[in-house]
Chain A
Amino acid sequence: MSAPVLALDNVSIRYPSAPAAAVRNVSFEVGTGETLGIVGESGSGKSTLAAAMMGLLPRGSCVTGSLRFEGRDLFGQMTERDLRQLRGRDIATIAQDPFTALNPVMKIGRQLDIFQHWYHDRPRAERKARILEMLEQVRLSDPDVRMQQYPHQLSGGILQRVSIAAALLAEPKLLIADEPTTALDATTEAQILGIMAEAKETLRGATVFITHDMSVVERLCDRIAVLYAGELVETGTVAEVLGNPQHPYTKALLECDPARIEEPTSELPTIGGTVPALDDRPAGCIFEPRCPSAVARCRAEAPLRHDLGPRRSAACHLVTP
């Protein structure tokens, strides 16, 4: 891999006045042209990481480690002004809820024009041509009509296409998609995932896809990072991790997915217990209280990251390279 677009090294994030860090010692890299899926359940810290990548953590949050975008540390060297210049141009996002992501009192066409404000040297006609091109790329019918409409006149599926078009218009080096299909219906979700897969071809940068749904990762991503309770438990290529999961949490999570169970069953697998509260973290391995294969050592000592190959690792005492 050439120099990574985004590189996290031992990142820990603690919200102001929180009893403990929401994200602990997370490291991974995303290279040009790669799509990384960040998977986790509620409380895993995936949204915190997304906010950090955009430089949108609340004021007073405590960040340690480094989070580098094209070699520049987003927290060390950048002023608010620098960050603002990155967002919307070099770093674009697709939000979870398409209904609130767009301005309700502005026509779609005008909003998409404004999304190109970093390219102010572009003539008006060219900006419009680019909008039409993007709306066609996301397979929106009647783009001319859509540009004259307001968000409330459009359905969730169409709005999410508009959001994707807006993100692509910025020609970002890093695209962050935070659960972009969670709010959508199954058939619409399938359409949007198809469009995202096509968009990957035209996008020259890196993509980070945040989701709780393994099947979305399987359809769209090259690499995967599995988070549990704020820690990175396993990472690797999608084929490696889904095909041969090493961390007990990854294994259990895959087993729990009803879509992956071939034969209908009335007794679905589950992971007993709950995610530990922020102020009640176990002393040893974070997953030990719920882990079916935990041994005495797991309770006493937090596992370090075990490298299992190039850019493939799992944080578990029982994993042997």
Chain B
Amino acid sequence: MTQPILEARNLRVRYPSGTLTDRLLGRGPRHVTVLPDVSLSVEAGQTLGLIGESGSGKTTLGRAAIGLAPISGGSIRVGDATATSEDAPEWAGIRRRTSMMFQDAVASLDPRMTLGTSVTEPLAIAGGFDGNRRDKAAELLGLVGLSPDFADRYPHQISGGQARRVTVARALALEPDLVIADEPTAGLDLSVQGELLNLLGELQNRLGVSFLFITHNLSVARHVTNRIAIMYLGRIVEEAPTRTIFSAPEHPYTRALIGAREATGGGGLIEGDVPSLTRRPEGCEFRTRCPLATDLCAAKAPALREIAPGHTASCHYAGQPAGVSHS
């Protein structure tokens, strides 16, 4: 297999926390660690789904992959460039091959710029483009199924679904190897959501783009991803090929997420809320909500380990046949 296009290694992201006074007086923790230690890779031409609930750190991981989050440990590699901090000089090169689709498509378009200017702005920033920007705008908009006259419109004149398409066009302007798509279907109606997903799939087939697909929607991820990584409290708790995640999930949290989308409910329902990032539980961080938790889980944090080739999970009881007594 060729080298993965994106590789995060032992990535740590933390944000400063507390008031200035607290920090000066040395009171309380000075940082909130959103991603304690994340490793993940996206294979060229493939789509990795990053799944988690709000606060799980999936957006932070996506942003860190393009240098938009403070990296305090570990590294990000895209192609042959490796960055170990958010102000590393390598980012300029990485950002020419990577682009981002932000969660709020309408807000990510400058309200005072025509859509034509917006979609070709990456070319102006990257430099080295000497063609006609109007023609290029028409070409990019055509790629996502919008007519050239959209180039003269402003964001407030288009629908949410059209705004999504414009952000896809902008993401493709530099012919990137990797697109980070943060909740690309959020806020879209069911009847147009499929259109956008099909478009991303078609562009992948045609241009060979890889996607890091961030979503909370497992039903969508099931159709459009090759592999899935499940995040909980800033850690990847399970990663496997998409089919395996659904047919043989090993982590109790993955099972709960799959159970929660069943129409009948019931199966694997978990109680309680996600703990606060500043008060991570000792031992296994999922044990406060886990139906299988034992003393071992309180005493020792499980490592992310390989259960089967290409399938990792961080649970002491992963890989055991179902129904085994844990006492």
Query: Taking the complex as formed, is B65 at the interface, i.e. its CB lies under 8 A from any CB of chain A?
Result: no
List the B side residues contacting A188 at CB < 8 Å. Answer: 53, 273
Q: How far is the CB of A237 from chain B (nearest CB, A)?
A: 16
Interface contact B265-A258, CB-CB below 8 Å: no
Which residues in chain A, 235-289, are within 8 Å of chain B measured between CB atoms?
252-253, 256-259, 261, 264-271, 274
Interface size on A, residues (CB 8 A): 34
Residue from A157, A194, A267, A269 within 8 A of B273 (CB atoms): A157
Known pairs A270-B191, A271-B192; list 8 more (Cβ under 8 Å): A41-B190, A185-B274, A194-B269, A215-B261, A252-B191, A258-B193, A268-B223, A269-B194
Query: Taking the complex as formed, is A122 at the interface, i.e. its CB lies under 8 A from any CB of chain B?
Result: no
Query: Taking the complex as formed, is A42 at the interface, i.e. its CB lies under 8 A from any CB of chain B?
Result: yes
Query: Taking the complex as formed, is A90 at the interface, i.e. its CB lies under 8 A from any CB of chain B?
Result: no
Interface contact A258-B260, CB-CB below 8 Å: no
Known: A41-B189, A252-B191, A270-B191. A193 touches B265 (CB 8 A): yes
Query: Taking the complex as formed, is B270 at the interface, i.e. its CB lies under 8 A from any CB of chain A?
Result: yes
Residue from B192, B220, B271 within 8 A of A191 (CB atoms): B271
Query: Taking the complex as formed, is B319 at the interface, i.e. its CB lies under 8 A from any CB of chain A?
Result: no
Q: List 24 A-B contacts (CB under 8 A).
A: A41-B190, A42-B160, A185-B216, A185-B274, A186-B260, A188-B53, A190-B260, A215-B261, A215-B263, A218-B263, A219-B263, A219-B265, A253-B190, A253-B191, A258-B219, A258-B223, A259-B263, A261-B223, A264-B223, A264-B243, A266-B223, A267-B198, A268-B194, A271-B192
Q: Bound state CA distance, A267 and B199, in angstroms?
A: 9
Query: Taking the complex as formed, is A113 at the interface, i.e. its CB lies under 8 A from any CB of chain B?
Result: no
Interface contact A274-B159, CB-CB below 8 Å: yes
Interface contact A259-B260, CB-CB below 8 Å: no
Q: Which of A191, A215, A258, A265 has the most CB of B within 10 A?
A: A258
Main secondary structure of the interface of B (DSSP, over half): helix
Query: Taking the complex as formed, is A14 at the interface, i.e. its CB lies under 8 A from any CB of chain B?
Result: no
Query: Taking the complex as formed, is B259 at the interface, i.e. its CB lies under 8 A from any CB of chain A?
Result: yes
Query: Taking the complex as formed, is B97 at the interface, i.e. its CB lies under 8 A from any CB of chain A?
Result: no
Query: Taking the complex as formed, is B123 at the interface, i.e. its CB lies under 8 A from any CB of chain A?
Result: no
Interface string of B131-164 (1 = CB under 8 A from A): 0000000000000000000000000000111000
Of all chain A residues, the one with the shortest Cβ separation from B200 is: A266
List the B side residues contacting A314 at CB < 8 Å. Answer: none
List the B side residues contacting A269 at CB < 8 Å. Answer: 194
Q: Bound state CA distance, A185 and B198, in angstroms?
A: 25
Q: How far is the CB of A19 from chain B (nearest CB, A)?
A: 17
Q: Bound state CA distance, A306 and B216, in angstroms?
A: 40
Interface contact A259-B219, CB-CB below 8 Å: yes
List the B side residues contacting A189 at CB < 8 Å. Answer: 260
Known: A215-B261, A264-B243. A270 touches B216 (CB 8 A): no
Q: How far is the CB of A140 from chain B (nearest CB, A)?
A: 11
List the A side residues contacting B190 at CB < 8 Å. Answer: 41, 212, 253, 256-257
Interface string of A117-147 (1 = CB under 8 A from B): 0000000000000000000000000000000
List the B side residues contacting A155 at CB < 8 Å. Answer: 273-274
Interface contact A187-B53, CB-CB below 8 Å: yes
